[in-house]
Chains A and B, each alone.
Chain A
Amino acid sequence: MADNKICDFLSVRDLEVEYSSGGEVIHAVNGVSFDVESGKTLGLVGETGAGKTTIAKSILRILPDHATKAVRGQIFYKGQDLLAMPLDEMRPFRGSQISMIFQDPMTALNPTKVVADQISEGLVLHQGLDKAAARVEANKMLEMVGISSDRADEYPHQFSGGMKQRVVIAIALACNPLLLIADEPTTALDVTIQAQVLDLIADLKAKLNTAMILITHDLGVVADQCDSVAIVYAGQIVESGSKEQIFDHPTHPYTIGLFGSLPDISKDVDRLSPVEGLPPDPTNLPAGCKFHPRCPKATEACAQGEIPNKELAPGHFCRCINI
Chain B
Amino acid sequence: MATLIEAKNLKKYFPSPRGTVHAVDDVSFTIDEGTTMGLVGESGCGKSTLGRCLVHLHESTDGQMFFDGKDATHLEKEALKEFRANNQFIFQDPYSSLNPRRTVKDTVMEPLQLSGKYNRRQLEIECIRLMDLVGIEKRLRLSYPHELDGGRRQRVGIARALALNPRFIVCDEPVSALDVSIQAQVLNLLMDLQDEYGLTYMFVTHDLSVVRHISDTICVMYLGQMVEKTTSKELFANQLHPYTKALLSAILSTDIHHPTKRILLKGEITSPINPPPGCRFAARCNYATEQCKQPLTLEEVKPGHFVSCCRVREINNL
Residues of A within 8 A of B (CB): 47-48, 160-163, 190-196, 198-199, 217-221, 223-224, 243-244, 247-248, 257-266, 269, 271-276, 278
Contact = CB atoms under 8 A, between A and B. Distances in A.
Contacts of B42: 190-193
Contact of B254 (A162, A190, A219): A219
Contacts of A194: 250
A220 B254 contact: yes
Contacts of A198: 252
A240 B42 CA distance: 34
8 contacts: A194-B250, A195-B262, A218-B252, A260-B184, A263-B213, A264-B209, A269-B213, A274-B182
A161 B42 CA distance: 12
Contacts of B180: 47, 217, 258, 261-262, 274
B252 A224 contact: yes
A244 B254 CA distance: 11
B206 interface: yes
A263 B191 contact: no
Contacts of B193: none
Nearest to A271: B188
A259 B236 CA distance: 21
Contacts of A220: 251-254
A162 B268 contact: yes
A131 B28 CA distance: 56
Contact of A195 (B206, B214, B250): B250
Nearest to A225: B252
Contacts of B181: 47, 257-258, 261, 274-275
Interface residues of B, number: 41
B303 interface: no
A271 B184 CA distance: 9
Interface string B226-268: 0000000000100000000011111111111011001011001
Which of A259, A260, A261, A273 gathers the greatest number of chain B CB atoms within 10 Å? A261
Contacts, number: 114
Contacts of B206: 190-191
A247 B184 contact: no
Which of B149, B183, B256 gathers the greatest number of chain A CB atoms within 10 Å? B256
Given A191-B208, A191-B247, A261-B181, 14 more contacts: A191-B250, A192-B246, A199-B264, A217-B180, A221-B252, A223-B256, A243-B256, A244-B256, A263-B184, A265-B236, A272-B187, A272-B213, A274-B183, A276-B185
A196 B264 contact: yes
B212 interface: yes
Interface class of chain A by DSSP: helix
A223 B236 CA distance: 21
Contacts of A258: 180-181
A220 B262 CA distance: 13
Nearest to A261: B184
B43 interface: yes
Contact of A266 (B253, B262, B269): B253
B179 interface: yes
A274 B184 contact: yes
Contacts of A275: 181
A102 B247 CA distance: 25
B46 interface: no
Contacts of A244: 256
Given A217-B180, A278-B151, A264 B264 contact: no
B264 A266 contact: no
A220 B182 CA distance: 17
Q: Which 9 A-B pairs have the closest CB atoms?
A: A220-B252, A274-B184, A263-B213, A261-B184, A272-B184, A195-B250, A190-B42, A47-B179, A275-B181
A160 B1 CA distance: 43
B123 interface: no
A223 B188 contact: no
B269 to A, nearest CB: 8
A266 B255 contact: yes
A121 B250 CA distance: 34
A192 B236 CA distance: 17
A278 B136 CA distance: 13
Which of A223, A247, A263 gathers the greatest number of chain B CB atoms within 10 Å? A263
A276 B151 CA distance: 12
